[in-house]
Chain A
């Protein structure tokens, strides 16, 4: 029986696990129930060495012959602070928290993969090891440390030669996947800056400095970084997401807060964005005010290794056909799997899981996936590992 057929046999079990997790969503680094369910399930499968509380609430499962190469498979487990409005019978039971990005499915799929690979190792044809990486807190990037670096700090990636993962995509039809080589997700950094001046009475602007007028120049400069300073061949984004200041109509405030996000693929462009943002804020000084700037490095760019991507591409082509694989579409989103790809060359694919009834974007209250995508995803991950470890 092919890996795909065997994965189809596990469809109900993966669905049961996913719905259990979906009903009990937990935010980043609070995945206590989810981690317990993962650890319990791995124990039931058997033969898997389990470590819990890796990277706070993460779980690591090891399976293998001890010698030979090691491949890691990663699933993230955290939910989002969103009030679910899908109307599903197994909707969130925690008001205000929802699995609105499909991490429930990732976790259930990886448990399915553990089932499948346990059976493979029992056949005695594999040499090497597989590590199941159940990661907390993928969504907290940009504001504190996320789950992947926390797990790495606790040794989760030690001895791993390659790492693979998937992400469901609610806007990609079932049976299709996206699997580009090279950069797939952007380096994702943040800035928060305060433009300051004396402020004062609105009727007497000449009495002090006006940070609002200075902010107008700063915004112009920020918006021109990409169009005027960055090599047009290198994708980059500088977007302002926060603009706060002032409390009364007749008081010139003494401070305006400008916050934003920076995206790039190229490491030099990444550094250049930081320099140019600083230069834009420094206009405040030139205009007689002052500024304070906090630059925060977030996720690095995620790079799909050419070799590992080809392995997955071969498997997916056999299961789904070569023409349903999109090898080109890349965006400026960020993913903390990129940290793991920095340590071990690896690849992430986007798994088509559109329900098809209406638009159900990620990170919205109506997000939902077609669960029939789950055995497809599990089969591709498990078969890629099986071929890699086959003697």
Chain B
């Protein structure tokens, strides 16, 4: 029986697990119930060494022969602060929290993969190890500005792992289609907070002070010209303001204006250039007699799908759904903290089509929903990629 057929036999079990998690969503680093369910399920499967509280609420399961190479498979577990309005009968029972990005299905799929690979190791044909990495907090950072992936890595979750694979469901792509691109797939994401200051004063007497709102005109013009005038057009980049705040009443010129923005890039040089240019733009305030403070926070690195590992997974996907159903170009300026793991262990992330029929269930919205029939396909792709890797069946690229 093929891996895909065996995965389909597990679809009832994966669906049950996914719905259990969906009904009890937990936010970043609060995945206590979810991680308990994960650890319990791994123990039931048996033969898996289970470590809990890895990266606060993460769970790591290890299975294998001890010697040989090690491949890691990652699923994230956290939900979002959204009031669910999807209409499914297993909706969130925690008001204001919702699995609106499919991490419930990622977790359930990876538990299905653990089932499948346990059976494979029992056959004795594999040499090497699989690490099941159930990660907290993909959607948010903690007080140390760290999301789940680097927190787990600090706790050694990737030590000894040679390659990493993962998938993400895609609610806007039909079941049976996937995105699998070599090279960059997600952007480096950094952010800034800036305070532009003048003296402020009476609105009727602007000449007596310095006006930070007026200084914003050249500053914003300059910020919005960074990408169009300063960055090599062959390198993707974004500078977007998300917050502009200042003032309280109509006749008082405020002393301070507050700005927040996000920076996106792929190329490391462009990433540094954006940080330099944003500061140069904010520093225009000094030219107009004001002053500024700026803080940058470095976020996720760019996600890079290793060509070799991507080529392996592509062989498996092609056998299951045909090469025509693979979008090899899909990339954007979004961010994914799986990128940290890819930096340490060359790997790849698959975008798994999981759209329900109406195609109106966008990620991070209250109506988000997926078609669960995508889950066995995702589990089979991950499990078969790991199996062939450990059976030495992949030749070169």
Contacts and interface: CB of A to CB of B under 8 A. Distances in A.
A232 B236 contact: yes
A233 B332 contact: yes
A224 B238 contact: no
B239 A227 contact: yes
Contacts of A235: 233-234
Given A224-B228, A232-B238, A332 B233 contact: yes
A232 B264 contact: yes
A37 to B, nearest CB: 38
Contact of A227 (B224, B331, B333): B224
Interface residues of B, number: 17
Contacts of B153: none
Given A224-B225, A227-B239, A233 B333 contact: yes
Interface centre among A223, A224, A232, A233, by most chain B C-beta atoms within 10 angstroms, is A232
Nearest to A229: B228
B264 A220 contact: no
Max chain B C-beta neighbours (<10 A), residue from A223, A228, A233, A238: A233
Contact of A232 (B221, B226, B227, B229): B227
Contacts of B228: 223-227, 237-238
A18 interface: no
Interface string B212-249: 00000000010011111100011011110000000000
Contacts of A330: 234
Interface string A327-343: 00011100000000000
A216 B236 CA distance: 27
Contacts of A106: none
Contacts of B236: 232-233
Nearest to A234: B236
Contacts of A238: 228
Interface string A57-101: 000000000000000000000000000000000000000000000
B224 A233 contact: no
B61 to A, nearest CB: 36
A261 to B, nearest CB: 12
A317 to B, nearest CB: 17
A236 interface: yes
Contacts of B264: 232
Nearest to B237: A232
Interface residues of A, number: 17
Given A220-B221, A233-B331, A227 B233 contact: no
A314 B229 CA distance: 38
Contacts of A237: 228, 233
> Is chain A's binding surface mostly helix, strand, loop or mixed?
mixed
B234 A331 contact: yes
B222 to A, nearest CB: 10
Interface in A187-230: 220, 223-228
A263 interface: yes
Nearest to B222: A223
A168 B316 CA distance: 43
Contacts of A226: 227-228, 233
A109 to B, nearest CB: 28
Given A228-B224, A233-B331, A223 B237 contact: no
Interface string B83-121: 000000000000000000000000000000000000000
A220 to B, nearest CB: 6
Contact of B233 (A223, A224, A225, A263): A263
A220 B228 CA distance: 11
A62 to B, nearest CB: 38
B333 A223 contact: no
Contacts of B225: 223-224, 227
Contacts of B224: 223-224, 227-228
A223 B229 contact: yes
Interface in A294-345: 330-332
A223 B236 CA distance: 17
A227 B222 CA distance: 11
A28 to B, nearest CB: 27
Contacts of B239: 227
A228 B333 CA distance: 14
Contacts of A228: 224
A263 B234 CA distance: 11
A249 B236 CA distance: 42
Contacts of A223: 221, 224-225, 228-229
B221 A227 contact: no
A237 B233 CA distance: 7
B97 to A, nearest CB: 32
A110 to B, nearest CB: 30
A233 B329 CA distance: 11
Contact of A236 (B229, B233, B331, B332): B233
Nearest to B221: A220
A323 B273 CA distance: 29
Interface in B318-340: 331-333
Interface of B: 221, 224-229, 233-234, 236-239, 264, 331-333
Given A235-B233, A330-B234, 9 more contacts: A223-B229, A226-B227, A226-B233, A227-B227, A227-B238, A232-B236, A232-B237, A232-B264, A331-B234
Smallest CB-CB A-B distances: 9 pairs: A226-B228, A227-B227, A227-B228, A235-B233, A232-B236, A224-B224, A223-B225, A232-B238, A237-B233
24 contacts: A220-B221, A223-B228, A223-B229, A224-B228, A227-B224, A227-B226, A227-B239, A228-B224, A232-B227, A232-B236, A232-B237, A232-B238, A232-B264, A232-B333, A233-B236, A233-B331, A233-B332, A235-B233, A237-B228, A238-B228, A263-B233, A330-B234, A332-B233, A332-B234
